[in-house]
Chain A
């Protein structure tokens, strides 16, 4: 049984490697990295005891592959900035590249969800943005939006990463920067601070203007920014009514601002892309109230309800976590107590599950069982349980 499991695993590894080879060769890091992947993967499965050590040819590859690994680790960051950049953005990027090519409006809805998870993790960002926006605007608005500007701050950093793709140092600093937000213990460099200050200014705009302020961000250039910034400041100190009015203003101005923006980046394609990007930014940034924001980002009413909804969400968050946490704890106690330690696990598909009184019957198929440190595969399994 174990032998056949090993055989299946080896064939799966080879199948996967063969089928992603094209991708590795065409757009990716190439054959060497693919071999490294295969080597490490195989080595790990051998180590885990689920693949027999003498893998036909795979065993031969395994050893050199894992030997090569450290060499690549050292070289790659030097050679390719892109490579270094990519993992930096790992946490943040996946949404962004997807967003850019896809102009469809409906997509922002799922994106906020993903963005939400990713951006919420480094909660440190929100404190830090609260300070910023507080210092720049000092209004109630700033406080309300501080929570949002936190998560929102990171997408621009992703853009920042994209812009200086040729400069290793900048990409590297960016990475640290993001890491710092999650857990601020690294004492990075002056570059880091400079980068941040640049970002903060730009990010503050959208935080204030949900609809109007996006265009300047995308440009990333300082040109359009100052104008909006002024508006913002005045807005921050003014009443809600005047805020609505000034948002109107910016919206009007934003249409005129579009022209300089278009000049900045790539002219034609960017023009089309810019609109969805705006929406997406908003999506990532509006996660808390995506319902309101997604359908009509440019409508005036949206901006008004948005903060309200956000407040509600905030209240809910305050109320719910204790309940949820307790629930989880109870479950975890039951589930994890013995389970995760021993970690006997069956992964399968079910065809049918039935119950008669306290007798459960189920038919499973295509399963992988990890029991008593052995992996056992099955095509079919029948279970009879007593509850």
Chain B
């Protein structure tokens, strides 16, 4: 199954990366194994989002910058409003990074 490394930039992904980094630095873990763990994280995270998450969100805002490069869309929004069923968040500036979902299903 193809995976994106995209989610490594999430909080949980950064926490894992930091942890692996420390363990590799200290000699507890081999770099190869650390990479395997990260790859597994890519898979598990993608799968969890597909199967466990059901919520819907709407996003509105002023598009400050858009960029499409290597099948990745990057949007920078200003004064964005995020709404889901039970809450809504206002953000002065937010970056959205999105990979092409078709790449996973191929």
Contact = CB atoms under 8 A, between A and B. Distances in A.
Interface of A: 1, 4, 7-9, 11-13, 15-16, 19-20, 23-24, 28-29, 33, 36-37, 40-41, 44-45, 48, 50-51, 72-73, 76-77, 83-84, 86-87, 89-90, 93-94, 97, 334-335, 338-339, 342, 344-351, 353, 360, 362, 364-372, 374-387
Contact of A366 (B22, B73, B101): B101
A97 B28 contact: no
A37 B86 CA distance: 34
A31 to B, nearest CB: 13
B62 A344 contact: no
Given A8-B53, A370-B10, A384 B66 contact: no
B29 A11 contact: no
A383 B49 CA distance: 19
B85 to A, nearest CB: 8
A346 B23 contact: no
Contact of B53 (A48, A76, A366): A366
Contacts of B66: 360, 387
A155 to B, nearest CB: 16
A371 B91 CA distance: 7
Contacts of B53: 4, 8, 366, 377-379
A16 B91 contact: no
Q: Name the residue in A351, A364, A371, A383 with the highest tally of chain B Cβ atoms < 10 Å from its Cβ.
A: A383
B89 A372 contact: yes
Contacts of A380: 56-57
B37 A16 contact: yes
Interface residues of B, number: 75
B11 A367 contact: no
B30 A365 contact: no
Given A339-B76, A366-B49, A346 B63 contact: no
Given A349-B100, A372-B91, A380-B57, A41 B40 contact: no
Contacts of B82: 369, 371, 376
Given A94-B32, A364-B96, 12 more contacts: A8-B49, A28-B33, A41-B19, A86-B30, A345-B95, A345-B96, A368-B45, A383-B60, A384-B59, A386-B62, A386-B63, A387-B62
A73 B26 contact: yes
Contacts of B76: 334-335, 339
Contacts, number: 254
Contacts of A86: 24, 27, 30-32
A315 to B, nearest CB: 27
A76 B22 CA distance: 14
B23 A342 contact: no
A73 B28 contact: yes
Q: Name the residue in B10, B58, B84 with the highest tally of chain A Cβ atoms < 10 Å from its Cβ.
A: B10
Please name the 10 residue pairs, one residue from A and one from B, whose CB atoms are nearest each other, closest first: A385-B63, A44-B15, A349-B101, A350-B98, A366-B49, A383-B59, A344-B94, A381-B57, A15-B44, A346-B96
Contact of B56 (A369, A371, A379): A379
B97 A348 contact: yes
Given A9-B12, A16-B44, A94 B93 contact: no
Contacts of A379: 49-50, 53-56
A385 B30 contact: no
A362 B63 CA distance: 12
A378 B84 contact: yes
